[in-house]
Amino acid sequence: MTTWFWILGWFLTILTITGNGLIIFLICKRKQLRTKTNAFVASLAVADFCVGMTVVPVLFIFKETVSETELSNKVQLYVRLFFVRASVTNLCSLVLDRFVAVVKPFKYLTFMTRSRVIQIVFLSWAFPTIIITVRASLHFAFQERHLDNIFHWLDAFNFKLVPCVMLVFCFACMLTIICKHHRKMRTLVKQIRSNATVFFRPQDSAAVKIMAIVIVVFLLCSAIRFHCGLSPLSRGNIDCDNLHVKILITVLNSAVNPIAYARKQLRTKTNAFVASLAVADFFVGMTVVPVLFILKEIVSETELADEVQLYVRLFFVRASVTNLCSLVLDRFVAVVKQLKYLIFMTHGRVIQVVFLSWAFPAIFITVRAYLYFAFQERHLDNIFNWLDAFSFKLVPCVMLVFCFAYMLTIICKHHRKMRTLVKQIRSNAPVFFRPQDSAAVKIMAIVIGVFLLCSAIRFHCGLSSLSRGNIDCDILRVKILVTILNSAVNPIAYAVYKRDIKKELKRMTRMNFSE
């Protein structure tokens, strides 16, 4: 198994388990989310959660930890197949529920009763259970090659071809009806507008987007899985690369579903920078310690593998730095130029800034890695070390300190004016004044303070490598731990002080006694 497969596999596995686990927790915890449609969503989330728990982790255990046997290989294959097929049938059940709700809205409540929901969910799990159990029993009983081929064709027909056709048909019908309904509504709104101002906004766009994302990803994954499924029938074996892609696509299909249900209220311009920084920090967490552990403890470490993981780690750490600078720049413009913020920070400019936050470290690390592998010159490495220290340590530190000091000055000045105004008003009526920017200041103070501390330690380690030619083991370990700390503190700061994220987290984690 190659290193890139394990890195991507574990990343998608964590995303799948976290996302689907959160969906299950929310639906089970909050009474108002226990609707008929969410019963299908929860069932699909359980199947996808089990896919995340059984595909890559079980494969990793058998390949890298315990001795693999033919029996254990077959058992984990059938377990994996069961949960993947259960995910397919549960997705079909969810789309069928939405199809009935859109196509037959007046008959939905009478048709989709509580007992019928239970029946459909039960069938979504019973059908793949029967198919996989019969297939495994016949395989272990007779060990016949032609029986395996028959079940391969049945599997391709029942869990790939039929679901794809059904999902495309249902989505096309739903889209046609929704578009027809929107045309009628627009015609009606045009007639009413002659007498009064009317604002019309399509209400079904979110549901259509969710179905579109889920179905398109499923069709893409099914096409690749279908190709890999035909491979053993045509050649008698599966190519290693195809197997890797097939497993990653399987986990990807289960990871996308909870992302499609993300809350629309949090999709603001500022949160675009927060999300971009969170992605960079997530990859830092995925690539620093886990990859180092895999190379040091599990697989045999080579000089090439060591250099590759070093550059991958450097890219995500530097991307975290540039994304943090972008976030602080956004808050700086919002505080310093409040009236011009909406004009300056447009949707297109947000995309440009986020793109540059990833493009700059990508270009820098790519050029550095290319020159290193092409020429293997020590002086080139030293030049790039100094450039790295200047571009990703010194400049960001100076910029962040300047922006925070300037913002703090303006906020303090604004608070002094507000307090003076409140004192004047209090002579006539009682007035309560509470600073509104304290949370934003605390977020910036925590994030920038931790970043400066971590940068100072990393900068010291960087200078050590330039002066002595090597890094002491203890310093390297401290440097790695500080890198993880820098990425770990950011989400804690948002969870405690960022108002909209804090509100959503409170809503998710509210206890029964508070409901």
Q: How far apart are CA 213 and CA 262, in angstroms?
A: 12
Asked if pLDDT for residue 359 goes beyond 90, the answer is yes
Give, to the nearest 10 degrees, the angle between helix 70-103 and helix 162-193.
30
* pLDDT value of position 512: 39
Query: CB of 498 within 8 A of CB of 439?
Result: yes
Asked if pLDDT for residue 370 goes beyond 50, the answer is yes
Find the DSSP H helices in 235-336: 240-260, 269-287, 289-293, 303-336
Average pLDDT over residues 484-492: 66
* pLDDT value of position 513: 36
More confident of the two residues 115 and 302 = 115
Q: What's the burial of 444, exposed, middle or buried (CB within 10 Å: 0-12/13-18/19+)?
A: buried
Query: CB of 117 within 8 A of CB of 39?
Result: yes
* pLDDT value of position 222: 72
Count the Cβ atoms, other than its own, within 10 Å of residue 73.
12
Q: What percent of the chain has pLDDT over 70?
A: 68
3-class SS of residue 134:
helix
Asked if pLDDT for residue 506 goes beyond 70, the answer is no
Query: Which of 118-132, 196-210, 315-329 tops mean pLDDT?
Result: 118-132
Tokens encoding 262: 């993300």
3-class SS of residue 377:
coil
Asked if pLDDT for residue 485 goes beyond 90, the answer is no
Asked if pLDDT for residue 151 goes beyond 70, the answer is yes
Average pLDDT over residues 386-391: 85
Asked if pLDDT for residue 363 goes beyond 90, the answer is yes
Average pLDDT over residues 474-483: 61
pLDDT band with cut points at 50, 70 and 90 for residue 515: very low
Q: How far apart are CA 352 and CA 346, in angstroms?
A: 10
Least confident of 55-59, 89-93, 249-253: 249-253
Q: What confidence tens digit (pLDDT) does each residue in 13-63 have?
A: 888 888 888 888 878 877 777 888 888 888 988 988 888 888 888 877 776
- Start-to-end CA span in the chain (Å): 49
Provide long-range contacts, Cβ within 8 A and 24+ apart, for 119-123: 120/40, 120/93, 120/96, 121/39, 121/40, 121/43, 121/90, 121/93, 123/89, 123/93
Give the closest residue to 327 by CA, choosing from 118, 144, 89, 493.
493
Asked if pLDDT for residue 165 goes beyond 70, the answer is yes
Q: 């986020």: which residue's tokens?
A: 354
More confident of the two residues 399 and 478 = 399
* pLDDT value of position 53: 86
Buried b / exposed e over 306-318, threshold 16 CB at 10 Å, is eebbeebbbbbbb
Q: How far is C-alpha 361 from the chain's CA centre?
A: 21
pLDDT band with cut points at 50, 70 and 90 for residue 511: very low
* pLDDT value of position 240: 42
Q: How far apart are CA 196 and CA 504, in angstroms?
A: 37
pLDDT band with cut points at 50, 70 and 90 for residue 358: very high
Supply the DSSP string of 446-481, one letter for each residue: HHHHHHHHHHHHHHHHHHHHHHHSS--HHHHHHHHH
Asked if pLDDT for residue 122 goes beyond 80, the answer is yes
Q: Which domains does the chain have, with CATH numbers?
A: 3-262 (1.20.1070.10), 290-511 (1.20.1070.10)
The 8-class DSSP code of residue 426 comes to: T
Query: Which of 157-171, 223-237, 261-275, 465-479 tops mean pLDDT?
Result: 157-171
Give the closest residue to 362 by CA, choosing from 404, 327, 424, 314.
314
Provide long-range contacts, Cβ within 8 A and 24+ apart, for 170-176: 170/95, 170/96, 170/98, 170/99, 171/95, 171/211, 171/212, 171/215, 173/99, 173/102, 173/103, 174/98, 174/99, 174/102, 174/103, 174/208, 174/211, 175/208
Count the Cβ atoms, other than its own, within 10 Å of residue 377.
11
Average pLDDT over residues 367-387: 83
Asked if pLDDT for residue 356 goes beyond 90, the answer is yes
Query: Which of 94-103, 289-298, 499-508 tops mean pLDDT?
Result: 94-103
Q: Is the dihedral of CA 295, 301, 304, 307 positive or negative?
A: positive
Q: How far apart are CA 421 and CA 415, in angstroms?
A: 10
Supply the DSSP string of 72-121, one letter for each residue: HHHHHHHHHHHHHHHHHHHHHHHHHHHHHHHHSTTTHHHHS-HHHHHHHH
The 8-class DSSP code of residue 301 comes to: P
* pLDDT value of position 514: 43
The 8-class DSSP code of residue 512 comes to: G
* pLDDT value of position 269: 76
Asked if pLDDT for residue 463 goes beyond 70, the answer is no
Amino acid at the residue 505: L
Asked if pLDDT for residue 321 goes beyond 90, the answer is no
- In sequence order, the 6+-apart residues with CB closer than 8 A to the CB of 321 are 361, 392, 396, 451
Average pLDDT, the chain: 75
* pLDDT value of position 355: 93
- Tell me which H or E stretch contains 150: helix 145-156
Asked if pLDDT for residue 238 goes beyond 50, the answer is no
